[in-house]
Amino acid sequence: MESGGRVEAAGPSTSASSSFCCSSSSSLVGEKQEPRQGEMITEKISEKVRSDEVVEEEEEEDDGLVSGFVPGPLVPLKEQLEKDKDDESLRRWKEKLLGCIEGDLNGQMEPEVTFHSIGIISEDCGELNTPLPVDEKQKGKVLFTLREGSKYQLKLAFTVKHNIVSGLAYCNTVWKGGVQVDQMRGMLGTFAPQREPYVHCLDEETTPSGVLARGVYLAKLKFEDDDKRCHLELNYSFEIKKRS
């Protein structure tokens, strides 16, 4: 009987434990459903990331296409102006853009860029300008002198004639003792013909410091447009001295 009582006592406890197991198992089932929702969200996020990566790749490909852009054929500026001569608003806009230079246009197709001076702006010497082309007496001589660790900018004045020059860019290469030590590239932009000269300062640079940095440097400054026409190639020299 005791054993039977124990059996009877065990009956309810078993049912309770079984109900506990059922409730716990049902709760576990509910807990298993939540990760599934999380997994769905994770999959959606992964798909979003993958789609973003595809978009970025397409943008990079587009950038590659832009970098390989080939400019179209040149058309004389005079011909472009005469195309819309009957459109008064467009004619006024072109005059505002180009200035009163229509009488100066002779139908020449290629733009002509003439550099009038090169200057140096620095904290050491202020501003010094040299007319271009460089005088024969100055060729081979130091164009300017800077102190080590000083900031400076090259300044140029130029005019554009006959047609619009597109993508005018520069490359400034520097050598010391026959070894290339620096090269700077930059874009000036696109310029329309005008009678007054454009004045443009190149990006600011800083001269090197130290014993090995002092001395005379040789440099070549070159300007080209989108069609690889060279408008200026200037060889010059400058010196870096010890800061006193």
Instruction: Domain of residue 49: give its range.
Output: 1-67
How far is 102 from 121, CA to CA, in rounded Å?
35
Lowest mean pLDDT segment, chosen from 25-39, 137-151, 180-194, 222-236: 25-39
Lowest mean pLDDT segment, chosen from 22-36, 93-107, 119-133, 166-180: 22-36
Residue ending a domain, choose from 12, 36, 67 = 67
Domain match, 60 and 172 both: no
Q: For residue 135, what pLDDT is reported?
A: 86
Cα–Cα nearest to 24, from 12, 32, 34: 32
How far is 174 from 182, CA to CA, in rounded Å?
5
Whether residue 80 is contained in a domain is answered as no
Whether residue 50 is contained in a domain is answered as yes
156 neighbors 200 (Cβ within 8 angstroms) = yes
Residue ending a domain, choose from 67, 90, 119 = 67
Domain match, 41 and 117 both: no
Output the pTM of the full model: 0.62
List, for residues 130-161, the tens digit of each pLDDT value.
999 988 888 778 999 999 999 999 999 999 98
Domain match, 120 and 232 both: yes
List, for residues 115-127, the tens digit of each pLDDT value.
999 999 998 789 9
Residues ≥6 apart with Cβ < 8 Å to 227: 71, 74, 166
